[in-house]
Each structure stands twice: as structure tokens, then as C-alpha cells.
């Protein structure tokens, strides 16, 4: 009996030891862009354990780790795509494949339950270096709804990272005056300011401060109250400099956390944005005027905003090709934005602004969402060679790549 116990304990120890070995990964000899104050480290190593980064440095040794020599390769944090419809829109012209709009809710629309981790657009963007998507509803109304953060792991159970972390609003476009929309925005926040869940059923019909035809559900009012209570930021799409100034004053008056999305003419009011500590989400790849609200667009917008002290976040309007944000970042660099700041705009700054804990940079204690590149991540000629999500290797192939492999090999 004692012998059987010893054999069992020995086998159990061996099993535990084998499991521990599989949980540690050592990436060696790569050029590492940390997106931190450490900047870029040449020919360095990263030790990963239990899905998190343990150490970064040179000549790291671990007898327990599986080693991978990445000489000549480049490592960056996984890129984060701000405000896309990844996972909720498949084919834009087919309504049945869209879960990004609602006629029932506006501000309170949460898309968590609609997110499809098996969307074919996810592998396309994963192979472009995107590891996290801030997925948001889209609407032509004043409020689009609530944004949530998702991992592009493809997991049915573990894709959601953080739920309802921001509220999006639209000021530009449509037939209504921008002034009217800003006024309605203020009235909506005022109405929601003192709403509590138990009182909502009685209060949400009170439209004394709202125009006819405007009605909010309890869910909408409670979402707006999160903005008023500074629990989540309000993300407003605006490009015209005069409108951005109005929104800066609006944020001060209402004491809310504001993020400007678009800011094509942001350079004209960069000092005011910096003084108010309002971050901006830019799409540098869209660098020419597309409407009368963007007549002041210029190629060095990101550079000028950065020089004034504005925190830059970089994204793309293209949900299908959200990974083009890195090309936009490269364009911004070519017109004066420092390279390290461009990388932070794709990673660290987004994680900080939207409070994605332990993500967006390569440093000890952070989640090991890591991309291995053939070259400079901001060069269009560089390609993703491997992706790690929480330290686990995931296939860096999409449908187009598989089709190419199938037919070119024949």
C-alpha cells in the first residue's frame, strides 16, 4: 500500500512538473518595442508565465521555459482597435449580419451578448496585429450606445474583457443643427443626473426638458448617469474646430470625462485640448477633407496635437480592415509624430484612456498579448508572423491565407 502511494505521489509530481513547464515561455533575442518609458530594447528576451509577462531583459535563463529564438524579429504589444464594429457587423449591406443598431435603446444599448467571436473579420484583423477591439454600436442618432472591450481570441466564453466602458455620441452629420445636438446632449445628461434604478420607472417619462419625440428608457438614463457620475467617458465624434471648442466647454460645465473621436481640425484647438486634458482618437489614414466639417484637415495633425501635449489614440474607420490603423500611425510618423508615440497611440494610450487593466504595453505583470513581426510594425511591408494572447500562441492565418495556401500549392 505504501509503495502504491509513493508511485502515485511520484506520478502526480511528474504531472505537475510537466504542467509547469508548459506554462512558461521564453522569447529570446528579439527587438522589443515595449510602448513604455523603456522604449525599444535590442536583442532582448521576454519571460512569460501563466499568461503574464514576468521579466524583460537580456540573457534571461529559465530551466522551466520553452525557448523560442526570435533573432532578427520584432516584438510589440498587441494593437488595440478603438471604436470598431468588430464582432457585431459581418456584411454591412446585409441587415441580418448586423447587430450594431437598435430602434429600442439608444444610450443604453450594450452589445455584449451580440458579439460573435467566430466572425470572419476577427482573423483578418488578428493577422494584422489587432489583439483587442473596443467594439461599439453605430447609429445615426445622437447616442450610439455603450462600448465594450473584447479579445480577438475567438473564444466563445472568454472574449469579453471589460463591459460598457464608454458611451458614444454623434454630433456631426444629419439634418439637425450641431448646436441643437449639443443642447440635447446637455439636457439628456441633466435629466439622468439624479436617476436611481428604483425611481427610474417613474421618472423616465418626465420629458419636460426634452423636445417632443425624444424619449429614453430606464436603461438609456442609467447609461447616461454613468457619464454624469464620471464612471465612464463620453466619446463624441467631432471634426470641426469650432465644435470641438464647444465640446471642451461642455465637458467643463458638466464635469464629465470627454474623448474626441475624429478631430480632423484638432490642430487648430490643440492648446485648449491639452489644457482640458481631453484625449483624441485620430484616423491619420483619412488625411484629406471628406466633408465641410473637415476642411482644415492636414497631414501633420497628429504631430501638432502631440507637440501641444494632447494624448493621441490612433484608430481606423474601417471595421473590416481595422488593422490599417498601423498604416495610419506610419503616416503620422512620416509627418512628424515620434515613432514611439505612434506605437503608444496604437496600444498603451488606448489602454490607459479606456482603463484596460494590465494591457497595452510590454512590462512585468502585464497580460502577454504580444505580436511578432517580420520588421517595423508601422511599415506596410512588415507582416505578422506570430500572435500570443495571454501567452498562448494563436493561429496567425485568415481565410484569404488559407485559400492562397490551398490553390498556390497545387
Angle (CA) 169 284 271, round 5°: 70
Domain boundary among 317, 333, 359: 359
Confidence at residue 8, expressed as pLDDT on a 0 to 100 scale: 56
| CATH number of the domain encompassing residue 333 | 3.20.20.140
* Co-location of 295 and 403 in the same domain: no
Residue 14 neighbours by CB distance under 10 Å: 10
Same domain, 273 and 365: no
Inside any domain, residue 406: yes
Paired sense of beta strands 130-135 and 79-84, if any: parallel
What is residue 21's predicted lDDT score, i.e. its pLDDT? Answer: 45
pLDDT less than 70: residues of the chain: 1-22, 172-176, 194-214, 409-410
Same domain, 148 and 284: yes
**Could you give the CA distance from residue 32 to residue 46 in angstroms, rounded to a whole number?**
9
Does 11 reside within a domain? no
372 shares a domain with 273: no
Residue 264 lies in a domain: yes
Strand order in the sheet with 160-170: 79-84, 130-135, 143-151, 160-170, 234-238, 258-262, 280-282, 312-314
**Phi, psi angles (nearest 5°) of residue 355:** 55, 50
Same domain, 155 and 205: yes
pLDDT at 20: 42
15 is a domain residue: no
Decide if 294 is inside a domain: yes
Domain that holds residue 178: 79-359
Cell numbers at 155, concatenated = 473564444
In a domain, 291, yes or no: yes
DSSP string, 239-297: -SHHHHHHHHHHHHHHT--EEEEE-TTGGGGHHHHHHHT--EEE-TT--S--SGGGTT-
User: Would you state the pLDDT for residue 207?
Assistant: 47
Looking at the structure, tell me whether residues 273 and 406 fall in a common domain: no
Residues 275 and 408 both lie in one domain: no
Name the residue among 272, 271, 333, 269 with its Cα closest to residue 300: 333
Domain end (from 340, 359, 378): 359
* Chain centre to alpha carbon of residue 315: 8
105 shares its domain with 31: no
Same domain, 300 and 275: yes
Residue 215 has a CB neighbour count (10 Å cut-off) of 11
Task: Give pLDDT, residue 240.
Answer: 92
Query: What CATH number does the domain containing 51 carry?
Result: 2.30.40.10
pLDDT value for 4: 61
Number of domains in the chain: 2
On whether residue 2 sits in a domain, the answer given is: no
What is the helix (H) or strand (E) element at residue 403, kind and residue range? helix 399-408
Instruction: Clarify whether residues 271 and 398 are in a common domain.
Output: no
The pLDDT, as a whole number, for residue 104 is 78
- pLDDT score at 3: 53
Query: Is 331 within a domain?
Result: yes
Q: Domain end: 322, 343, 359, which one?
A: 359
Same-domain pairing of 144 and 157: yes
- 164 lies in the same domain as 259: yes
Amino acid at each position: 500500500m505504501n509503495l502504491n502511494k509513493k508511485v502515485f505521489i511520484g506520478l502526480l509530481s511528474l504531472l505537475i512538473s510537466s504542467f509547469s513547464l508548459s506554462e512558461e515561455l521564453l522569447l529570446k533575442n528579439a527587438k522589443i518595442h515595449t510602448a513604455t518609458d523603456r522604449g525599444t530594447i535590442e536583442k532582448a528576451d521576454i519571460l512569460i508565465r501563466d499568461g503574464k509577462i514576468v521579466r524583460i531583459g537580456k540573457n534571461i535563463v529559465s530551466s522551466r521555459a520553452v525557448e523560442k529564438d526570435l533573432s532578427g524579429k520584432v516584438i510589440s504589444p498587441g494593437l488595440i482597435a478603438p471604436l470598431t464594429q468588430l464582432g457585431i457587423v459581418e456584411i454591412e449591406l446585409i441587415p441580418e449580419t448586423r447587430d450594431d443598431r437598435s430602434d429600442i435603446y439608444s444610450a443604453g444599448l450594450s452589445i455584449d451578448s451580440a458579439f460573435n467571436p467566430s466572425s470572419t473579420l476577427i482573423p483578418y484583423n488578428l493577422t494584422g496585429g489587432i489583439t483587442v477591439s473596443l467594439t461599439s454600436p453605430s447609429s445615426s442618432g445622437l447616442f450610439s450606445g455603450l462600448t465594450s472591450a473584447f479579445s480577438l481570441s475567438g473564444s466563445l466564453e472568454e472574449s469579453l474583457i471589460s463591459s460598457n466602458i464608454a458611451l458614444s455620441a454623434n454630433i456631426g452629420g444629419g439634418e439637425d443643427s450641431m448646436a441643437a445636438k449639443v443642447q440635447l446632449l446637455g439636457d439628456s445628461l441633466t435629466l439622468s443626473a439624479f436617476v436611481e434604478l428604483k425611481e427610474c420607472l417613474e421618472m423616465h417619462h418626465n420629458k419636460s426638458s426634452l423636445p417632443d419625440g425624444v424619449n429614453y428608457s430606464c436603461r438609456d438614463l442609467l447609461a447616461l448617469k454613468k457619464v454624469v457620475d464620471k464612471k465612464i467617458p463620453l466619446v463624441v465624434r467631432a471634426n470641426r474646430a469650432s465644435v470641438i471648442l464647444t465640446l471642451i466647454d461642455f465637458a467643463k460645465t458638466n464635469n464629465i470625462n470627454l474623448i474626441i473621436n475624429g478631430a480632423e481640425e484638432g490642430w487648430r484647438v490643440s492648446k485648449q485640448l491639452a489644457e482640458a486634458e481631453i484625449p483624441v482618437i485620430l484616423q491619420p489614414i483619412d488625411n484629406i477633407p471628406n466633408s465641410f466639417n473637415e476642411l482644415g484637415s492636414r497631414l501633420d495633425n497628429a504631430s501638432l496635437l502631440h507637440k501641444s501635449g494632447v494624448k493621441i489614440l490612433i484608430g481606423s474607420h474601417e471595421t473590416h480592415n481595422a488593422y490599417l490603423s498601423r498604416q495610419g500611425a506610419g503616416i503620422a510618423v512620416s509627418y512628424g509624430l515620434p515613432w514611439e508615440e505612434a506605437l503608444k497611440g496604437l496600444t498603451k494610450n488606448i489602454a490607459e484612456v479606456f482603463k484596460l487593466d494590465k494591457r497595452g504595453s510590454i512590462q512585468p505583470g502585464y497580460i502577454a498579448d504580444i505580436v511578432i513581426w517580420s520588421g517595423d510594425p508601422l511599415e506596410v511591408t512588415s507582416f505578422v508572423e506570430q500572435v500570443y494572447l495571454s501567452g498562448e500562441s494563436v493561429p496567425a492565418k485568415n481565410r484569404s491565407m488559407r485559400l492562397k495556401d490551398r490553390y498556390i500549392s497545387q
